[in-house]
Amino acid sequence: MEKVLIPLIDETATVTFGAKLAASCQESCVINIYGDIGTGKTTFCRGVIQALGFPGKVKSPTYTLVESYLLARWNVYHFDLYRLSNTEELEYMGIQDYFYNRYLFLIEWPQSCEGLLPTMDLSITLKYKYPGIMRLAEAQAFSAIGKKLLFALSI
């Protein structure tokens, strides 16, 4: 797998990183987002969603599990699976119906539901490089679509 490391010095850099990925999205894809609490997963998603044209506040779907953004060019589904106690909850909410059509999926904490989610195109792992000072994003491609996104992120 190919990967790229991107330093993120602050919240603005994380939002900008998300916007850069959004500008590179030309086709439907699944992006899995990993990282400890507080590493900027939702901030990254905010950068993506707002860059795609959503003018409002992007909230974390921690309690709702999913937030939908029906935009002019995209349907974006932002999942946060952190509070999921078991995979049956996802089946109950009809998770497979979301993935019937291909749109842009941003999935935080996907490790909670391995086996129920579609194959990812790109993974983003956010981690602290220097706690409280700087974060590091590791982007890794898992498909041809992911490789296109990775290339765009690397330049």
Counting residues of the chain whose pLDDT is more than 90, the rounded percentage is 59
pLDDT of residue 65: 84
3-51 pLDDT per residue, tens: 899 999 999 999 999 999 999 998 899 999 999 998 999 999 999 999 9
pLDDT at 100 (0 to 100): 63
Q: What is the mean pLDDT of the chain?
A: 88
Domain extent listing, the chain:
3-154
pTM of this structure = 0.91
For 109-124, write each residue's pLDDT tens digit: 999 787 778 889 999 9
pLDDT at 53: 94
Quick one: three-class SS letters along the chain?
A: CCEEEEEECCHHHHHHHHHHHHHHCCCCEEEEEEECCCCCHHHHHHHHHHHCCCCCCCCCCCCCCEEEEECCCCEEEEEECCCCCCHHHHHHCCHHHHCCCCCEEEEECHHHHCCCCCCCCEEEEEEEEECCCEEEEEEEECCHHHHHHHHHHHC
Q: Which fold has domain 3-154?
A: Rossmann fold (3.40.50)
